Amino acid sequence: MVTQVTKGIKIIVTPCYLKDQSQPENHHFLFKYRITIENNSEHTVQLMRRHWHIFDSSGEYREVEGEGVVGQQPVLMHGDVYEYESVCNLVTEMGKMHGTYLMERKLDGSRFVAQIPEFELAVPHKLN
């Protein structure tokens, strides 16, 4: 689990290897990650967009960008918590991700970028 706070928006990431859904013999490694977003700022905010940077240990790099997360653009008032899960596939046993959320303050429409902390994606035996 890793955590980062930007302008009162706390983002917690918990990754997990999905052994039963992976196919190592076909270079397909699937990872789930749970994101928890806590609004500890004094403003009501809405998550507008996401931008991911995904790396694997073979040197492959890709970006994923789009509106909201898992089909939603959640609004969080002060003290609200929003959680979701998503998956990422790699062609190797190890990689990492980090990114940003574009957030909008509902009071005045101003926008800012909340950092998603870098986290590792690794088949458990690779970390020993």
> Is residue 126 scored above 70 in pLDDT?
no
User: For position 109, what pLDDT does the model report?
Assistant: 97
User: For position 127, what pLDDT does the model report?
Assistant: 58
Tell me 128's DSSP state.
Answer: -
Chain mean pLDDT for the chain: 96
33-38 average pLDDT score: 98
The pLDDT > 90 percentage for the chain reads 96
- Show Cβ contacts of residue 33 under 8 Å, excluding neighbours closer than 6 positions: 13, 14, 15, 16, 85, 86, 87, 88, 97, 119, 121
> Is residue 128 scored above 60 in pLDDT?
no
Residues facing 49 on adjacent strands: 67, 102
> Is residue 77 scored above 60 in pLDDT?
yes
Domains, in order of start, for the chain: 2-127 (2.60.40.1470)
